[in-house]
A and B are shown apart, each in its own frame.
Chain A
């Protein structure tokens, strides 16, 4: 059974640009959560999608958004990038929204210059 995949694995962008990251969950999993990991703030929850609907949202500005498609694949978008957005972005999938047994992908390393 394939694990959670994230593309791209590495990305370099310039301040002010926007970026889209993709996450494909484990087959049969319908919930996808996104997290940001930085050395200063650690791992922080961004949002969760289940059945194409945002179920939960962390304390991030509106520049961070996401969506989920009917095949459960999810994308997150960051607009007007800032230097502080440089981070490892992790997504995790679980079978349902109430299932806390999450499986994490390898992450996308975003560097903003």
Chain B
């Protein structure tokens, strides 16, 4: 069974710093990996989706990398801002028609940017 872990569970950094969030998964047979952010009491917003054949994706100040062989992904946030404060979740998907889980989510990292 796929297991996804995110470390650390919580992170506080001063505004303006660059930071890295980590995600690891146990089964490398993934279809893709996604990073989401969730604001308190709200739904999820998709940030980046990396196909299994890709190594990284970039969107603005965000860069996500994927190393399938080692079962790891990182989300790099440049020049952090208070508005980046949220919980960040990574999720992996199995290939279509393979297994029952649509998305398997990590435990999340709660990020606080200190002004």
Contacts and interface: CB of A to CB of B under 8 A. Distances in A.
B11 to A, nearest CB: 17
Given A100-B32, A100-B49, A90 B44 contact: yes
A64 interface: no
Given A43-B89, A48-B102, A100-B103, A90 B43 contact: yes
Given A100-B34, A104-B44, A43 B96 contact: no
Interface stretch (A12-20, A77-85, A105-113): A105-113
Contacts, number: 57
B72 to A, nearest CB: 19
A33 interface: yes
Given A42-B107, A42-B108, A109-B41, A56 B46 contact: no
B101 A42 contact: no
Interface of B: 31-32, 34, 36, 41-46, 49, 89, 91, 93, 96, 100-108
15 contacts: A33-B102, A35-B103, A42-B106, A42-B108, A44-B105, A45-B103, A48-B102, A97-B96, A98-B96, A100-B31, A101-B46, A102-B46, A102-B102, A104-B43, A104-B44
